[in-house]
Structure 1
Amino acid sequence: MSNRKRKHGIFAVNGDLVALSSNKEEVQKGCMPIGAALDMIFNQMRIGGNRPSTIESYEYIIKQFVDVCQINYVEDIGLEKLYHYLDVLNVKPATKLIRMKSIKAVLSKFYNNGWIKDRFWSNIQIKIDKEVKKGAKESDIYKLLQLIDQTTFIGFRDAVAIKLMYKTGIRIRTLGELRERHIDFEKLCMNLDGSTLKNLKFLKLPIDEELAEMLKMLINLNDGIRAHYGMDNKNVFITQNGLAMNTSKSSNCAISKQLNKYSKRFGLENINAHAIRRAYAKRLHDKGASIAIISKALGHSDLAVTTQYLDLDVEEVAKDLREFL
């Protein structure tokens, strides 16, 4: 057997362990090393076409769970370990819910591979009070665009980003993944392939002439900055040093940080990428777009998520429904 290390993600697994883990008799005895199991799971996810950012997120959360609960073998995982992990986490219930979903997803893959006999985690529920997040006010968005110093590269880049997010509703991470090839200036649209979107589906979004001209100007500025710093990328939104912004699984990119600074500097309470995206959805609805169309534009797979984005007033809903009586 080879002693070479196979390195995938956060675990380095000895070749002997991989061979051991693939032996059905040894697995039935309950001696599947957790590192070997996770290495195989993440390989399956890569082969299955899961996004690298999704795998990175799972790896981070599972590593934390394994470290906190001192888990060495798959058989060590049980309800007691899961509750202990949740108990020691010093985070908000909403964050616990997200992390528990990731752990459950990985445990489900363990179950599918036959390493765990029961779905003992199914009954673990984390109750949270759902906070309805408001969209940014259109007046605040345009006020911000007026206050930003667009005579600087960073100011102009941020203004283009804000206007693009408000006019198209794209996520901040998609913004960071946007390449020049995604923009069709002749037909005034963005052709977003699955690699840039959360749901991995192709999406075509229109842009207006004003936004197209701003994007052309930004691309010209980018060329000068990349040439100066010797950078080679085709990202539409880059840092002042010519670097791509999306360098990790975090959505807290340069523009996201800038929005936080602007919010504090100019006293605008609800200015962030997500609030701007919600404002886009509300603007479409106010102009008469159906929820189905809005859902498609946002790249949602569930209409329920879209209705949450819209945060419709009770009286507003009643007024709209009256038209169908």
Structure 2
Amino acid sequence: MAKKVMRKLGRGKGAGATQKNNQKPVNMSLNDMFERFMLYKKTEGLAKDTIESYYTTYRWFREYLGSDLERDEITLDVFRDYIDFMLNEKGISPVTANVRIRTMRTFIRYCYLENYIDFPIHERFKPLKTKQDTLESFTPQEVKKLLSLVDESTYTGFRDKVIIYILLDTLVRCRELINMKRENVDLQTGAIKLEASDTKTKKSRIVPLSARTIRVLKEYMDETEDFGSEWLLVTYEGEQMANNTIRYRLTELGEKAGLTNKRVSPHTFRHTGSLFYIMNGGDPFSLQKILGHSDMSMVRKYIQMTDDTVKRQHNTFSPLKSVFN
């Protein structure tokens, strides 16, 4: 009779399990632990924006605390009270609170695994449940209105137009946009190469350009050639544009257009372009490649449609058309 093989449940060594450090606990304050955590994070090759977001999130937490915490003061109640403070005193939305909660959970999990704290506190405070709302996007009419308010007679105005065209056509993130280099723009083939160091996934990718964007971009590149800058999008002085400058310019344009009910941001253009891509007949698999997502579930979030959009699509592609046309 064959011997029954008994296997332990769970993941063992070599199967992706994270092992807890069982050395003698080190007596450090929460600030000291965070500094150790950030030293570790910097060895992971994370983007500068990601590193800064860790510092920002911890600064908000420290402002709530008002002081440092000793090892024995780091308890579950501290984090539960912080969540209550964000929601009920600061009026922060659950979606925004979840960004902070996830970051703090990552930090506290690290502290537990390194044996800085005794208990897996991170397992007891989790992200809040939120409704799966349709991601915000513009209508074609709203995009046209934004473009109509651009003053192309000025350098900054024409640059705003170029930025909107690139955002909507290539679906890139803001960080990817400001790090585009002139040498990586190929107007002949109609594509821009995003270097691995500049993408969220740390993988290089090629984003295609439509003929309309190529024409606008060629004019802009000819106009800025004398700056001698390696960067595609530059200031008056030929310096690389800042993330905040692009966001400010788009927000200002949105206010002029009266779009007070929507956030006019690079990410809204990313959502909008993804939705338009599918509505114009694009497939989700090529969209996934353009967006640079490894998980199709993220693509699904980008192409959520409103009820009105679904209705229009159904009128165009109703299955009955195959029967009666």
Same fold per TM (> 0.5)? Answer: yes
After the TM superposition, which residues 1-325 of structure 1 pair with which residues of structure 2 at under 5 Å, given as runs?
24-25=23-24, 28=25, 31-69=27-65, 70-89=67-86, 90=90, 91-125=92-126, 126-224=128-226, 226=227, 233-246=229-242, 251=243, 253-268=244-259, 270=262, 271-313=264-306, 315=310
For residues 95-139 of structure 1, the C-alpha deviation after alignment (integer angstroms, 9 at most, x for no partner) is: 211101110011122222232343223232423334423321223
Report the CA distance shift for 1:219/1:321 in structure 2 as closer, same or farther (over 3 A).
same
Within 2, Cα distance between the matches of 1:172 and 1:302?
20
Secondary structure of 1:300 counterpart: coil
CA distance in 2, matches of 1:46, 1:321: 52
- Gapped regions of structure 2 (runs ≥ 5): 1-20
User: Are the equivalent residues in 1 in contact too, given 2:134–2:306 (CA < 8 A)?
Assistant: no
Q: Which amino acid aligns with 2:255?
A: K
1:181 maps to amino acid: E
* Pair 241,44 (structure 1): closer, same or farther in 2 beyond 3 Å: same
Aligned in 2, Cα 1:35/1:187: closer, same or farther, shift over 3 Å? same
Distance 2:104 2:125 in 1: 11
Secondary structure of the residue aligned to 1:191 is strand
The number of aligned residues is: 289
Aligned counterparts of 2:141 and 2:38: Cα–Cα separation in 1? 46
Q: Distance in 2 between matches of 1:65 and 1:321?
A: 52
Aligned to 1:230: none
The change in CA–CA distance for 1:37 and 1:134 in structure 2 (over 3 A counts) is: closer
Give the deviation of 1:146 after TM superposition.
Answer: 3.0
Q: Structure 1 residue 67: deviation in Å?
A: 4.3
Shift of 1:276: 1.8
CA contact (8 A) 1:31 1:75 kept: no
Superposed displacement of residue 171, structure 1: 1.7
Counterpart of 1:14 in structure 2 is none
Unaligned runs of 5+ in 1: 1-21, 228-232
273-282 or 162-171, larger mean C-alpha shift: 273-282
Q: Distance in 2 between matches of 1:170 and 1:193?
A: 12
Equivalent pairs: percent with the same residue?
20
What is the distance in 1 between the residues matched to 2:116 and 2:247? Answer: 41
Q: Deviation per CA, 1:265-312, whole angstroms, max 9, x where unpaired?
A: 133454432222122111221232222221221122332222222123
C-alpha distance in 2 between matches for 1:321 and 1:78: 57
Structure-1-length-normalised TM-score: 0.78
Higher deviation after alignment, 171-180 or 308-317:
308-317
SS of alignment partner, residue 121 of structure 2 = coil
In the TM superposition, what whole-angstrom CA distance separates every residue of 1:122-175 from its partner, at most 9, and x where no partner exists?
232423334423321223223332331111101100000101111111122221
Secondary structure of the 2:193 match is strand
Q: Structure 1: how far apart are the matches of 2:240 and 2:304?
A: 34
> Is the CA contact 2:149–2:256 (under 8 Å) kept in the aligned structure 1?
no
**Change beyond 3 A, Cα 1:312–1:266:** closer
After superposition, the CA RMSD in angstroms is 2.9
Q: 1:32 to 1:181 in 2, by over 3 A?
A: same
